[in-house]
């Protein structure tokens, strides 16, 4: 991963400088495409995890994407059955990829848009939704209708992203660390997670929970506070906290409980909807 990014660094640098001629841009873009393809196959990722469990943003990936945008030429493209567009970023899957999708048990419902440089793991289901460049969706995950997965966002295994959810990206406004949704998380309908927030393994967000890096996250029973991440297995609902003791309250995400059998029974994933990866 590091090797390829190192190799691409001079092209990234030149692309970002904006000084290249139109014909030089074409060559640069063709080289940068190798990196975008590696993102799309999961060979390189927008984050890496150190031995102590901390996540680190891979800055070169973001720079690669920006350089790819900057050197790309907008042109019409027609992806039969998937979508039409006019842009410098093509779509991840094209006519001809059917065998790959079948082998990996990936389902893409009409209206779902997965941009070039996004990775879909085995047995993922894309309802009509939008997955941006650099995003990484791990196996068994469902992205439900009208959900949007922002650039470079990292989504774990067996996650359910409900209808209308927004997962923020890192490109505009520019952000340092991508949002990370760990394995077995449930994000309730119309919720929004942005600004590099981490949703830890098994956590559950009810409908309409909004979390950015400054959103207070409070445990309703103990008063404990977190900022920037939701603890493992927490069940989070929208709430409010009193500010400055004035009686005026502002929005907060409230940890109401920790997931138990009742929670899990409501959120059980149904294998019927998931494909099954098959070898040839």
Ligand X SMILES: CC(C)(COP(=O)(O)OP(=O)(O)OC[C@H]1O[C@@H](n2cnc3c(N)ncnc32)[C@H](O)[C@@H]1OP(=O)(O)O)[C@@H](O)C(=O)NCCC(=O)NCCS
* Positions in the binding site for ligand X (CB under 6 A): 144, 162-163, 188-189, 204, 206-207, 235, 237-238, 256-257, 262-263, 266-267
Contact 112, 128 (CB under 8 A): yes
Length of the chain: 280
Of 81 and 268, the one with the shorter C-beta distance to ligand X is 268
DSSP at 117: T
Q: Tell me the longest C-alpha to C-alpha distance in the chain.
A: 66
Question: From residue 112, how far is each of 40, 92, 116, 207 by CA, in Å?
Answer: 16, 11, 13, 22
Of 57 and 143, the one with the shorter C-beta distance to ligand X is 143
Active site residues: 144, 169, 192
Of 40 and 188, the one with the shorter C-beta distance to ligand X is 188
Of 58 and 162, the one with the shorter C-beta distance to ligand X is 162
Contact 149, 155 (CB under 8 A): yes
Q: Is 103 exposed, middle or buried (0-12, 13-18, 19+ CB in 10 A)?
A: middle
Least distance to ligand X, CB of residue 25, Å: 42
Strand partners, 114: 131
Least distance to ligand X, CB of residue 216, Å: 16
Of 94 and 256, the one with the shorter C-beta distance to ligand X is 256
Alpha carbons 169 and 167: distance in angstroms, whole number:
7
- Closest listed residue to residue 67, CA positions, set 9, 16, 11, 8: 16
Helix (H, G, I), strand (E, B) or coil at 161: strand
How is residue 139 written in tokens? 């196996």
**Prior bond of 4 cis (ω within 30°):** no
Of 29 and 206, the one with the shorter C-beta distance to ligand X is 206
Least distance to ligand X, CB of residue 239, Å: 7
Residue 269 CB contacts under 8 Å (≥ 6 apart), including other chains: 140, 142, 158, 160
Least distance to ligand X, CB of residue 12, Å: 39
Least distance to ligand X, CB of residue 280, Å: 35
Least distance to ligand X, CB of residue 144, Å: 5
Question: From residue 149, how far is each of 52, 134, 144 by CA, in Å?
Answer: 27, 10, 11
- Determine the angle formed by the axes of helices 59-71 and 2-17, rounding to 10 degrees: 40
């Amino acid at each position: 991963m590091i090797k390829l990014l190192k190799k691409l660094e001079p092209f990234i640098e030149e692309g970002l400088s904006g000084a290249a001629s139109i014909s030089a841009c074409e060559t640069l873009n063709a080289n940068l495409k190798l990196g975008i393809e590696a993102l799309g196959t999961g060979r390189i990722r927008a984050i890496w995890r150190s031995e102590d469990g901390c996540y680190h943003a891979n800055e070169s990936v973001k720079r690669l994407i920006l350089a790819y945008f900057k050197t790309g030429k907008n042109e019409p493209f027609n992806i039969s059955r998937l979508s039409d567009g006019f842009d410098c970023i093509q779509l991840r899957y094209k006519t001809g990829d059917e065998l790959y999708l079948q082998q990996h048990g990936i389902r893409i419902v009409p209206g779902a848009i997965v941009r070039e440089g996004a990775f879909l793991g085995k047995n993922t289901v894309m309802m009509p939704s939008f997955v941006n460049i650099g995003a990484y969706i791990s196996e068994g995950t469902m992205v439900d209708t009208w959900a949007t997965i922002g650039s470079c966002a990292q989504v774990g295994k067996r996650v359910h992203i409900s209808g209308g959810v927004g997962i923020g990206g890192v490109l505009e406004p520019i952000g340092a660390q991508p949002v990370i949704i760990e394995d077995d998380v449930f994000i309730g309908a119309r919720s929004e997670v942005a600004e590099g927030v981490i949703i830890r393994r098994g956590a559950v967000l009810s409908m309409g929970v909004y979390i950015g890096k400054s959103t207070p996250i409070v445990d309703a029973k103990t008063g404990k506070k977190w900022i920037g991440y939701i603890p493992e297995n927490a069940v989070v609902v929208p709430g409010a906290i009193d500010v400055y003791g004035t009686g005026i309250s502002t929005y907060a995400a409230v940890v109401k409980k920790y997931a138990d059998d009742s929670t899990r029974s409501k959120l059980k994933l149904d294998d019927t909807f998931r494909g099954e990866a098959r070898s040839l």
